[in-house]
Amino acid sequence: WGKEGHYTVCKIAESYFEEETVAAVKKLLPESADGDLASVCSWPDEIKHHWQWRWTSPLHYVDTPDYRCNYEYCRDCHDTHKHQDRCVTGAIFNYTMQLMSASENSHTIVHYNLTEALMFLSHFIGDIHQPLHVGFLGDEGGNTITVRWYRRKTNLHHVWDNMIIESALKTYYNKSLPLFIQALQTNLTHGWSNDVPSWESCQLNQTACPNPYASESINLACKYAYRNATPGTTLGDDYFLSRLPIVEKRLAQGGIRLAATLNRIFSSKPKHA
């Protein structure tokens, strides 16, 4: 996602934080966040091109074999040099482990930068919900598919990261991101309320569950993102109106699942045997 997408995911997550999560997040946030997680959720995108952070760029996505429309951790989670675990699902497991090890054992000295871990985890749980962040290898998740978005020349990946959200803000929300977020919050407490518990759930005794989110994303990428969006296509009202509900639901799911993951990490409640 772009800046608005990440801000939306983290704002929704904040409203589902348990008390202990609010306190733990507040302690870990950098001064620049001014107590607001959402304000730093795009930080990993701002730094990924700086030389000292270049190694983090493959952590924003996972590419899958062309046209298969499925995802497997062992097959797909690696960078271009075939280094295993260097992809968005691997990064979510890793940063969850870092935050867990500190949360569980307050006596051992922690070797990780937990402020960075929190900002990376929050960002990557957002990214994994963008369908084309689990796209095809051959087109780099739609980055090499040139399309028109109404009159503007862009690429399919950028349409899903930014343009659908941007057009929704202009068309329906008076260009106000807070109004857009409020509409998703209303949908969460009414339209999607019966689905929220299943979105929150994770495998027994697991803290993070990125693999099912990646499978959902590649399925949505095949069914909605790539469909009727071959190179050179002009995407307009038909595409916008049919895909906006998918984008809205993925942003909401990302927020719910970020909150659920952080609540599991920072909860002091004992887990039953």
Whose Cβ is closer to ligand ADE: residue 211's or residue 263's? 211
Partner from ligand ADE, Zn ion, none binding residue 4, C-beta < 5-8 Å depending on class: none
HSE, side-chain direction, 13 A CA sphere, residue 132: 25
Using the rule CB under 5 A, is 127 a contact of Zn ion? yes
Place of tokens 């730093």: 40
The interface with Zn ion within residues 136-195 (CB under 5 A) comprises 161
Whose Cβ is closer to Zn ion: residue 144's or residue 176's? 144
First-to-last alpha carbon distance for the chain, in angstroms, is 38
Partner from ligand ADE, Zn ion, none binding residue 139, C-beta < 5-8 Å depending on class: none
Whose Cβ is closer to ligand ADE: residue 61's or residue 95's? 61
Whose Cβ is closer to ligand ADE: residue 1's or residue 95's? 1
Minimum CB–partner distance for residue 130 and ligand ADE (Å): 8
Within 8 A by CB and 6+ apart from 36, the residues are 14, 29
Minimum CB–partner distance for residue 188 and ligand ADE (Å): 26
Using the rule CB under 5 A, is 116 a contact of Zn ion? no
Partner from Zn ion, ligand ADE, none binding residue 127, C-beta < 5-8 Å depending on class: Zn ion
Minimum CB–partner distance for residue 10 and ligand ADE (Å): 19
Q: Give the span between the Cα atoms of 220 and 205, in whole angstroms.
A: 27
Q: Give the span between the Cα atoms of 232 and 234, in whole angstroms.
A: 7
Q: What is the DSSP string of 185-251?
A: HHHHHTTTTTTHHHHH--STT-S--HHHHHHHHHHHIIIIISTT--TTPEE-HHHHHHHHHHHHHHH
Q: Give the span between the Cα atoms of 72 and 64, in whole angstroms.
A: 8
Q: Single out the residue of 41, 5, 37, 33 nearest to residue 21, CA to CA.
A: 37
Whose Cβ is closer to Zn ion: residue 116's or residue 161's? 161
Whose Cβ is closer to ligand ADE: residue 25's or residue 156's? 156
Q: HEC string of 232-250?
A: CCEECHHHHHHHHHHHHHH
Stretch that binds Zn ion, among 42-50, 200-208, 229-237, 261-269 (CB under 5 A): 42-50
Identity of residue 12: I
The interface with Zn ion within residues 49-78 (CB under 5 A) comprises 60
Partner from Zn ion, ligand ADE, none binding residue 78, C-beta < 5-8 Å depending on class: none
Where does this chain bind ligand ADE (CB under 6 A)?
Answer: 60-61, 63, 132-133, 135, 140-141, 143, 157
Residues that bind Zn ion (CB under 5 A): 45, 60, 127, 161
